[in-house]
Amino acid sequence: MRYAAITDRLKDLGGDKWAIHNAARARMAKGEEVIELTIGEPDITPDPALIEECVTALRSGRTRYSNGRGEAGLVDALVETYRPRMPDIGPENVLCFPGTQTALYAVFTALTSDGDGVLIGDPYYATYEGVVQASGAHVQPVPLHMEHDFELQPADLASAITPESRVLLLNTPHNPTGAVLTRDTLLALGELCIAHDLWIVCDEVYEALIFDGSFASPLEIEALRERTIVVSSISKSHAATGFRSGWAIGPAEFTRRLLPISETMLFGNQPFIADMTEAALRGNYPTAALLREALGRRAALVHGLVQQVPGLSSRLPAGGMFIMIDVSGTGLDGDAFATRLIEEHGVAVMPGSSFGNEGLNLVRVALTVPDADLREALSRMGTLSRSLLAGAA
Ligand SMILES: Cc1ncc(COP(=O)(O)O)c(C=O)c1O
């Protein structure tokens, strides 16, 4: 039988990136003890009052079809949430989606097609390549450097732009590196986007999880607003990953064109989840602050421990859920180090190769586990690193 080309474009972009994670799960299923630092899922539950909002909505019959844009109450809450950044925002600038991931898929379906280039800081979030390639476009990687705390440098962007470039995909705070873009950097990147007529898609899903510095969005910069689309969700801010509730904010003409794509794909969102999301946006829940405190503390803990291990180095992330560790000083690359670490020491980390070509010497550690597990994991990484260095001596 014949299949559409998209199935070939995406076939190598799924499982391979998760090989170490899958190996860890297989070991755990056999009863082995593994410290799993692979995926970043908040390690707290949503606020009970928010769950109650959802249950109440379900019980009161909020179970019918919605509309393509989103439930009116949620759209209004999003308008109010984003008004400080976008003073002239209205419902026509908002579209609700089941999560940032779906929003990204729909947004790229609307912006790019065969042959188009999408500029992305490399390393990048594992699903970006698939999202871009699904539309027929290709990733144009822009290297992110550890010595710049992985912040995308305007000069690197300038060198990566070609006539095929259509979109700059930003992610701040950044997965996997924890970099947070400053307003000055956004201004400089934005100037290049204006000069080359590029869209800016900004994934702000970790906005609430900044522990050093402040958040800046291209949406706040008036000159960039006509070319900026922000995607985000309550997945991280409210520890509500399974609710699948997110949105896209962009120019009215863009959302007008996006709406039929969304309607064709989704036929609306779920009213009871919309009600819960509206409550999340309007309410004052402690979830984000709790996560921020724990993640910031663990980032500092891991970064401090890394400095004591010969062969390893890291930068203190400014936000997000992860820290990247450079393992090249041990003589191994990220893949080989991660493989030895799970096989010999029962610690699962993501090799940097899962996030593009620039992360080959790195491994990513999720900060979403108890401090004691991180201490133990770093102690085992130290054992591996020292034995590698002793072997090389
Ligand atoms: C950078 C980034 N974007 C998007 C997502 C997906 O978010 P959502 O749960 O809102 O689909 C994740 C999830 O880990 C992520 O790290």
Reported as a single tens digit per residue, the pLDDT across 380-390 is 999 999 999 99
Domain extent, residue 235, equals 48-282
Same domain? 174 vs 251: yes
Measure the CA–CA gap between 99 and 113, rounded to whole angstroms: 22
**pLDDT the model gives residue 213:** 86
Same domain? 304 vs 339: yes
CA-nearest of 272, 258, 267 to 92 is 258
Same domain? 163 vs 238: yes
C-beta 172 within 6 A of ligand 1? no
The answer on pLDDT for 274 being more than 80 is yes
**pLDDT the model gives residue 15:** 67
Measure the CA–CA gap between 47 and 298, rounded to whole angstroms: 22
Measure the CA–CA gap between 347 and 338, rounded to whole angstroms: 8
Pocket test for ligand 1, best of 17, 101, 233, 238 (most atoms within 8 A of CB): 101
The backbone torsions φ and ψ at residue 192, rounded to the nearest 5 degrees and listed phi first, read -65, -40
User: Band of the pLDDT at 377, cuts 50, 70, 90?
Assistant: very high
CATH number, position 35: 3.90.1150.10
Share of the chain above pLDDT 90, in %: 94
The answer on pLDDT for 285 being more than 70 is yes
Mean pLDDT (the chain, rounded): 96
Q: What angle do CA 29, 34, 39 make, to 5 degrees?
A: 90
Decide which of 235, 255, 282 is a domain's last residue.
282
- DSSP, res 206: T
Same domain? 277 vs 369: no
**pLDDT the model gives residue 168:** 98
Q: What is the pLDDT of residues 143-154, one digit of tens each?
A: 999 999 999 999
CATH number, position 271: 3.40.640.10
Which residue has 């860890």 as its token pair? 24
Ligand 1 atom at minimal distance to the Cα of residue 103? 11
The answer on pLDDT for 16 being more than 80 is no
Beta sheet of 165-171, edge-to-edge order:
94-97, 246-249, 228-233, 199-203, 165-171, 117-122, 138-143
C-beta 22 within 6 A of ligand 1? no
Q: What is the mean pLDDT of residues 327-341?
A: 97
C-beta 177 within 6 A of ligand 1? no
The answer on pLDDT for 13 being more than 80 is no
The answer on pLDDT for 14 being more than 80 is no
Measure the CA–CA gap between 271 and 163, rounded to whole angstroms: 43
Ligand 1 atom at minimal distance to the Cα of residue 244? 9
Same domain? 223 vs 321: no
CA-nearest of 316, 276, 281 to 298 is 316
CA 331 to centroid of ligand 1, rounded, Å:
32
The answer on pLDDT for 391 being more than 90 is no
Pocket test for ligand 1, best of 105, 144, 205, 233 (most atoms within 8 A of CB): 205
**pLDDT the model gives residue 393:** 62
Same domain? 14 vs 87: no
Distances (CA, A) of 275 to 47, 81, 116, 282, 354: 15, 15, 38, 11, 36
Q: What letters, b where the CB count within 10 A reaches 16 and e where it falls short, cover 167-194?
A: bbbbbbbbbbbbbbbbeebbebbbebbe
Q: What angle do CA 229, 234, 239 make, to 5 degrees?
A: 145
C-beta 125 within 6 A of ligand 1? yes
Q: What is the pLDDT of residues 58-106, one digit of tens each?
A: 999 999 999 999 999 999 999 999 999 999 999 999 999 999 999 999 9
CA 258 to centroid of ligand 1, rounded, Å:
20
Contact 362/390 with Cβ under 8 angstroms? no
Same domain? 218 vs 344: no
CA 384 to centroid of ligand 1, rounded, Å:
31
Same domain? 13 vs 75: no
Same domain? 98 vs 141: yes
Decide which of 282, 299, 331 is a domain's last residue.
282
C-beta 171 within 6 A of ligand 1? yes
Pocket test for ligand 1, best of 236, 244, 322, 368 (most atoms within 8 A of CB): 236
The backbone torsions φ and ψ at residue 95, rounded to the nearest 5 degrees and listed phi first, read -140, 130
Same domain? 33 vs 55: no
CA 345 to centroid of ligand 1, rounded, Å:
29
C-beta 175 within 6 A of ligand 1? yes
CA 101 to centroid of ligand 1, rounded, Å:
6
**pLDDT the model gives residue 104:** 98
Total domains, the chain:
2
DSSP calls for 103-150: HHHHHHHHH--TT-EEEEEES--TTHHHHHHHTT-EEEEEE--GGGTT
Contact 231/201 with Cβ under 8 angstroms? yes
Q: What letters, b where the CB count within 10 A reaches 16 and e where it falls short, cover 258-275?
A: bbebbeeebebbbbbbbb
C-beta 241 within 6 A of ligand 1? yes
CA 232 to centroid of ligand 1, rounded, Å:
8
Decide which of 224, 256, 282 is a domain's last residue.
282
Amino acid at 103: A
CA 387 to centroid of ligand 1, rounded, Å:
36
Same domain? 244 vs 182: yes
**pLDDT the model gives residue 159:** 98
User: Could you give the residue ranges of the DSSP H alpha helices within the chain?
Assistant: 5-10, 19-29, 48-59, 72-82, 100-111, 128-134, 154-160, 183-195, 252-266, 271-282, 287-307, 334-345, 371-392
CA 161 to centroid of ligand 1, rounded, Å:
26
How far is Cα of residue 150 from the mean position of the Cα atoms in its chain?
14
**pLDDT the model gives residue 212:** 81
User: Band of the pLDDT at 40, cuts 50, 70, 90?
Assistant: confident
- Does the pTM surpass 0.85? The reply is yes
Q: What is the pLDDT of residues 200-251, one digit of tens each?
A: 999 999 999 999 889 999 999 999 999 999 999 999 999 999 999 999 999 9
Same domain? 231 vs 326: no
Q: What is the pLDDT of residues 115-124, one digit of tens each?
A: 999 999 999 9
